[in-house]
Amino acid sequence: LPNNNGNTLKKIKVNLEQKSYPILIGEGSLSRLYELIGRQNQNKKILAVIDGNVERIHGKLITKALKKFKNNIDYYILKPGERSKSFKELNKIYSYLIDKKFGRDSLLIALGGGVTGDLAGYAASTFMRGIPLIHIPTTLLAAVDSSIGGKTGINFESKKNMIGTFCQPELVLIDTAFLQTLPKAEIKSGLGEVIKYAYMSDRKYYAFVEKNLEKIFQKDLRITEEIIIKSASIKAGVVAHDEKESGLRKILNLGHTFAHAFESELNFKIKHGEAVTAGIIASLYLANKIGILSLKNLNEFLRLPLKANLSDKFFMLNKQNIFELMQSDKKARSGKTKFVLVSNIGKILLDVEAERKEIFFALEMMQRAAAKS
């Protein structure tokens, strides 16, 4: 698919029978949305839910790129930040849709990071029992992870993602031009998930990520595109095998059992991807401690996440609180925490149980490593 600049859009298919959809990746691809959504969608009434910062920075470019939709498109600007994943904001979107007479034949577009995608996705999957959805992720984290796989949701009181659905989009369109305006902290956050995919992949790709870490921070377009394509392909493959997380999809939770507890303990004053990086470090130590990862591999595999430079917030975490939080995680079964652990690159073990003292050891080592990094 050539785009406006003559470049080719890369295509990855998420294979889910009748629910299959493409992920299209390329700089400047937003301006081709009209053609890409197909005849059946071109005359629909559309609501684009847009992250406030994205609108502020890219608003003019977005309206210009979407001018082919003429008066069929409305814009709902979302206040940036995790707090927008709430019932209050959801109600505002429903009211907007009802006031403006959106019906079942309308289309919702989520244009922003994971917050916009999760909230707009939940709205799309529940409004009038479900209307079609398109994701246009604008953060690295959303491009490599949250826009793919159909998880939607909002937070309930202080509990993250407690209310949600599985709702596969019709299309994920990744215009890499958006990523150029991301603050460094957001790149660092997306990197947590990128690193996760590197362990799930093979040695060649793992070495590629390690070698190009600095270029990812510099937002080098070619490298960024490569890591998005690779990450999205891995996620698409996993989701195609296990849409609703009954087995294989758990592999995507590498580092996340620890990460979710870190986020709760720090009152979500830490970015998700950064918590994942710290979670991966703790998981590597845990894997070594329980004997599934050699010392040589441990030292080698720690290099990549440690280069991502952890925030000092991690070495103040209270280990007992983290331990208890992990036991009450919604993925824990009857009080037993199950971990996803790396035993080698491309070799990930699911549902691994660990003793309290092993978990404490892994946390302690992660904290020491964080303090030194």
Ligand X SMILES: NC(=O)c1ccc[n+]([C@@H]2O[C@H](COP(=O)([O-])OP(=O)(O)OC[C@H]3O[C@@H](n4cnc5c(N)ncnc54)[C@H](O)[C@@H]3O)[C@@H](O)[C@H]2O)c1
Active-site choice (188, 235, 250, 338): 235
Q: How far is the CB of 82 from ligand X (least distance, A)?
A: 5
Identify the CA nearest to 34 among candidates 46, 45, 42. 42
Catalytic residue among 32, 272, 289, 338: 272
Active site residue 135: no
Q: Which helix (H) or strand (E) holds 350?
A: strand 347-353
Which residue number, 160 or 319, has a Cβ lying nearer to ligand X? 160
Tokens found for residue 237: 């493959």
Least separation in angstroms between residue 71's CB and ligand X is: 26
Q: Which is nearer to ligand X, 26 or 149 (CB)?
A: 149
Q: Supply the minimum distance, in Å, between the C-beta of residue 306 and ligand X.
A: 21
DSSP label at 89? H
Which residue has the closest beta carbon to ligand X?
Answer: 114
In the complex, the smallest distance separating the C-beta of residue 334 from ligand X, rounded to whole angstroms, is 25
Please give the full DSSP string across 224-264, using - where no structure is assigned.
HHHHHHHHHHHHHHHHHH-TT-SSGGGGGGTTHHHHHHHHH
- Chain-centre distance of CA 38, in angstroms? 26
Q: How far is 303 from 206, CA to CA, in rounded Å?
A: 11
- Nearer to ligand X (CB atom), residue 113 or residue 290: 113
196 is an active site residue:
no
- Specify whether 44 is catalytic: no
Closest by alpha carbon to 136, among 126, 146, 123?
Answer: 146
Let me know if 263 is a catalytic residue.
Answer: no
Nearer to ligand X, 122 or 285 (CB): 122
Kindly name the residue from 256, 271, 289, 338 that is annotated as catalytic.
256
Torsion of CA 117, 118, 124, 126, to 10 degrees: 180
Minimum CB separation from ligand X for residue 88, in Å?
A: 16
Q: Is 245 a catalytic residue?
A: yes
Start-end of H helices in the chain: 33-36, 39-42, 52-65, 87-99, 114-126, 140-141, 184-200, 203-211, 213-217, 221-241, 256-265, 272-289, 295-307, 319-327, 356-372
* Annotation says 7 is catalytic: no
Question: Which of the following is catalytic: 245, 297, 307, 319?
Answer: 245
Other CB atoms within 10 A of residue 123 CB:
27
Residue closer to ligand X by CB (options 139, 168) is: 139
Nearest CB to ligand X, comparing residues 55 and 226: 55
- In the beta sheet, which residues pair with residue 353? 338
Separation of alpha carbons 187 and 139, rounded Å: 8
Of 39, 129, 222, 296, the catalytic one is 129
Residues binding ligand X (CB under 6 A): 51, 53-54, 57, 80, 82, 85, 112-116, 118, 138-139, 141-142, 145-146, 149, 151, 160-161, 178, 181-182, 186, 189, 272
Residue 31 beta carbon to ligand X: minimum distance, rounded to whole angstroms? 16
235 catalytic residue (yes or no): yes
Name the catalytic one among 45, 249, 271, 338.
249
151 is catalytic: yes
Active site residues: 129, 151, 193, 235, 245, 249, 253, 256, 260, 272
